Amino acid sequence: MRAAVLHAPHEPLRIEQVDTPDVLLAQEVRVATAAVGLCHSDLHVIDGRVARPMPVVLGHEASGVVTEVGDAVTDVRVGDHVIACFVVYCGACRQCRAGRPAMCQNREATMRPAEAPPRLAQSGREVHQWTNIGGFAEEMVLHRNAVTVIDPRMPLDLAAMLGCAVATGVGSARTVAGVGPGDHVVVIGAGGVGLNVCQGAAGAGAASVIALDRSDERLALAAESFGATHTINTAADSHAAATIHRLTDGGADHVFEAVGVPALVDLGLEAAARGGSVWAVGVFGDDAEIAFPAGHLHSGKGVHGVRAGSLVPRRDLPRLVQDYLAGALELDALAGRRIPLDDIQDGIADLERGVGARTLVVF
């Protein structure tokens, strides 16, 4: 099958032939990829901010149709429409047993054992499968806990975005922070994840949802389609925290940092109300460190890490599908260009320039 392979940081993705195994292991499924979203986390690997073994097939929010299942797979069938999501969990460790698959501490159990041939290979040499997904490919061989079966009425191109951008954004607002009616919410970064934090917070009844970004285009999208009540272009307003305190009568209850820049966590603490929380949703570089005035702690403010919106895939993804089918979740405005695999490098360039919402590779 064909896949977009990254051989080294800063190089373009190359469309190449990649081999998948003829025989599945007992716990595996084979999926014909329908669509995959391009996410900033993919870019972090390409630009070297996040170091990963190479060569690698990136892509971690995908959808597709199951074409084969391993002998022990009883909960997924050939022909099922699925979302392949980067929250791949063993199902047996302490975190999984406690209902926190996003925190799974034994992801090795969802990979192939060393003695088995790799899931992806070129001339017998392993090609890594990023986040155990590797969605920039015509076909995915996955652990069964990497996939969630969804309602076949759901358009598969839009479904792909549920696996990362939507799950992380909506889950951060709904599940992790527990945004409630009357809360004042600030969202820093109006990309794929940030827009979904906006709609999650708006749907939870927030009194205000203030979106911050450096792009007027994205801020307009946040206000028109994702429930932002106010927008601040931080390239034009160097006193964003003061503006937020004025708009919210004393600061935000919840600030979501959806970019992955340490200085923006500091801005979030400035913008937070006494007792408010900053939720670090963005993916930071491997060497990033965060420093902030300790006095914020004495004001009862806190910074909390967020992992994948604490997603429980088989509980939350079908619910998001139903929300979309019921008209209660905006996805159409989130999707930008649809491109074929051969044009993926153009999509990566879109990401680098920060244009559009979510570029989708469709198969």
Contact residues toward Zn ion (CB under 5 A) are 39, 41, 89-90, 93, 96, 104, 106, 164
Contact yes or no for 268/254 (Cβ under 8 A): no
Joined together, the tokens standing for residue 180 give 């409630």
Nearer to Zn ion, 89 or 324 (CB): 89
Nearer to Zn ion, 101 or 118 (CB): 101
Nearer to Zn ion, 17 or 105 (CB): 105
Minimum CB–partner distance for residue 323 and Zn ion (Å) = 20
Minimum CB–partner distance for residue 106 and Zn ion (Å) = 5
Nearer to Zn ion, 89 or 226 (CB): 89
Minimum CB–partner distance for residue 47 and Zn ion (Å) = 15
Minimum CB–partner distance for residue 18 and Zn ion (Å) = 21
Nearer to Zn ion, 164 or 321 (CB): 164
Joined together, the tokens standing for residue 90 give 């063993």
> Tokens 């028109």 identify what position?
224
Nearer to Zn ion, 133 or 255 (CB): 133
Minimum CB–partner distance for residue 124 and Zn ion (Å) = 30
161 contacts: CB under 8 Å, gap ≥ 6: 37, 61, 192, 331, 334, 335, 358, 360
Could you give the CA distance from residue 67 to residue 114 in angstroms, rounded to a whole number? 25
Minimum CB–partner distance for residue 46 and Zn ion (Å) = 13
| Per-residue CA distances from 319 to 10, 61, 99, 156, 322 (Å) | 38, 17, 17, 15, 5
Joined together, the tokens standing for residue 80 give 């099922």
Estimate the crossing angle of helix 216-225 against helix 192-203, to 10 degrees. Answer: 30
